[in-house]
């Protein structure tokens, strides 16, 4: 899973990184490479804390949904992969019709995901129905 990060820089500062999906999760670095690396570490630690507190992770925002976010002004958006080492992967079996699996595979490929990653992300996506 990948989350959008904002890279900020002013003349008198290091590179700063923030995450619109995780308020309070920030990172910094003297170089672009250091800021990128620190962003991944900050995200992993932040998510680990949320999971330890039994909180649900937000589904990643899209660039389209953030286009009017004032925090994006004077920032560059980039994707940070979530290194999900916090939980052990578990194999499961599901039953689906062949044409359904073929459609899942097409959608997963279009999204740049494996079948498993696509199914998990789709299952964890917030419901559009009101509770």
52 lies in the same domain as 93: no
Spatial distance between the Cα atoms of 77 and 66, rounded to a whole number of angstroms: 10
Task: For residues 70 and 97, state if they share a domain.
Answer: no
Q: Tell me the three state secondary structure of residue 46.
A: helix
Residues of the chain above pLDDT 70, percent: 85
* pLDDT value of residue 16: 92
pTM of the full structure: 0.62
**Domain tally for the chain?**
2
CB atoms within 10 A of CB 9: 14
Residue 71 sits in a domain of what CATH number? 3.30.160.250
pLDDT digits (tens, 9 = 90+) for 35-89: 998 999 889 888 888 887 788 888 999 988 998 888 888 899 999 998 655 555 5
Domain co-membership, 70 together with 100 = no
DSSP 31: S
Q: Are residues 81 and 104 in the same domain?
A: no
Q: Please indicate, yes or no, whether residues 80 and 97 belong to a single structural domain of this protein.
A: no
Cα–chain center distance at 40: 10
* Average per-residue pLDDT for the chain: 84
37 and 52 fall within a common domain: yes
Residues comprising the chain, all counted? 131
Show the domain range for 117. Answer: 89-131
Looking at the fold, whether 10 and 29 belong to one and the same domain comes out as yes
For 41-129, where are the E strands, in sequence order? 76-81
């Amino acid at each position: 899973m990948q989350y959008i990060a904002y890279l900020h820089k002013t003349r008198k500062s290091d590179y700063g990184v923030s995450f619109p999906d995780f308020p309070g999760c920030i990172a910094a670095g003297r170089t672009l490479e250091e800021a990128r690396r620190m962003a991944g570490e900050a995200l992993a630690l932040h998510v680990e804390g949320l999971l330890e507190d039994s909180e649900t992770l937000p589904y990643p925002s899209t660039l389209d949904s953030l286009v009017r976010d004032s925090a994006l002004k004077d920032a560059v958006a980039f994707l940070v992969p979530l290194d999900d080492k916090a939980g052990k992967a578990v194999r499961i079996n599901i039953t689906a019709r062949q044409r359904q699996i073929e459609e899942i595979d097409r959608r997963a490929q279009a999204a740049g995901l494996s079948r498993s990653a696509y199914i998990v992300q789709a299952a964890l996506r917030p419901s559009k129905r009101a509770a």
